[in-house]
Amino acid sequence: MKNYDQFHDGWLDGLLIDQKSVQVFLSTEERQPFLVVANGVVALAADGFKAGNIVFEVVTRQKEELTLQDITRAYGLAEGATGQDQAQKLLAKALEQNLIVLEINPSYGASCVLLAESVDLLHRRESLDRKFAGAIV
């Protein structure tokens, strides 16, 4: 598990969803802007958005660290035996596909859990530089 401590008491500024790609806009407590780019997203659950979403923690977990709770939350599965059976099957598939979970837990406001093939953290300026590299200005 990797914990991104720099986002404790920072902000979850928003999400941009484009088919199987999700960009998560985060800021540190000092208002340093970052972007988490998740590609090959297979499941996403985000809720509780309010003005001023304060982050408690941001973590990623790799294949061997995925849990049934990760799967249940990301897919929004029902409680009980039916949900448990689905979660077991989806966890096996996630392990087979080598997926990563990104989990953002709030102190206030929004939470987010997603399963993806890759998750990268970039400073927002770096992401703009990549996007417009080679562009004629």
pLDDT at 82 over 50: yes
Q: Is 86 exposed, middle or buried (0-12, 13-18, 19+ CB in 10 A)?
A: middle
pLDDT band at 86 (very low <50, low <70, confident <90, very high): very high
Residue 112 pairs in a beta bridge with 46, 104
More confident residue, 134 or 74: 74
pLDDT at 9 over 70: yes
* Predicted local distance difference test score (pLDDT) of residue 126: 63
Nearest to 46 by CA among 119, 116, 111: 111
Does the predicted TM-score (pTM) go above 0.75? yes
Mean pLDDT of 126-135: 54
Integer Cα distance of 137 and 106 in angstroms:
40
Q: Are 110 and 104 in contact (CB under 8 A)?
A: yes
